Amino acid sequence: MKFFVDSADVPAIKELNDLGMVDGVTTNPSLILKSGRDILEVTREICALVAGPVSAEVVALTANEMIAEGRKLAEIAENITVKVPLTWDGLKACKVLSGEGKMVNVTLCFSVNQAILAAKAGATFISPFVGRLDDINMDGMELISDIRQVYDNYGYETQILAASIRTANHITQAALIGADVVTAPPAVIKAMVSHPLTDKGLEQFMKDWAKTGQKIL
Residue numbers at the binding site for ligand E4P (CB under 6 A):
6, 26, 28, 107, 127, 129, 131-132, 163-164, 183
For the residues of 173-207, what is the DSSP string, one character each? HHHHHT-SEEEE-HHHHHHTT--HHHHHHHHHHHH
User: How open is the CA angle 37-40-41, to the nearest 5 degrees?
Assistant: 55
**Smallest separation, CB 26 to ligand E4P (Å):** 4
- CB-count burial class (<10 Å; 0-12, 13-18, 19+) for 110: middle
* Eight-state DSSP code of residue 75: T
Whole-number minimum distance, CB 37 to ligand E4P, in Å? 16
Q: Round to whole Å and give the CA distance between 130 and 86.
A: 15
Taking the complex as a whole, how short is the minimal distance between the CB of residue 97 and ligand E4P, in angstroms?
A: 17
Closer Cβ to ligand E4P, 36 or 154, answer by number: 36
| 79 SS3 class | coil
**Which is nearer to ligand E4P, 129 or 151 (by Cβ)?**
129
Nearer to ligand E4P, 131 or 178 (CB): 131
User: Would you call 92 a catalytic residue per the annotation?
Assistant: no
Q: How far is the CB of 88 from ligand E4P (least distance, A)?
A: 20
Q: How far, in Å, CA of 103 to CA of 83, rounded?
A: 9
Closest to ligand E4P by CB, 26 or 124? 26
Residue 76 · residue 43 · CB < 8 Å: yes
Q: Could you give the angle at the alpha carbon of 65 between the alpha carbons of 5 and 60, nearest 5°? A: 50
Query: What angle is formed at CA 158 by the lines to CA 155 and CA 163, rounded to 5 degrees?
Result: 130
Catalytic residue among 14, 72, 83, 215, which? 83
- The residues annotated with a catalytic role in the active site are 83
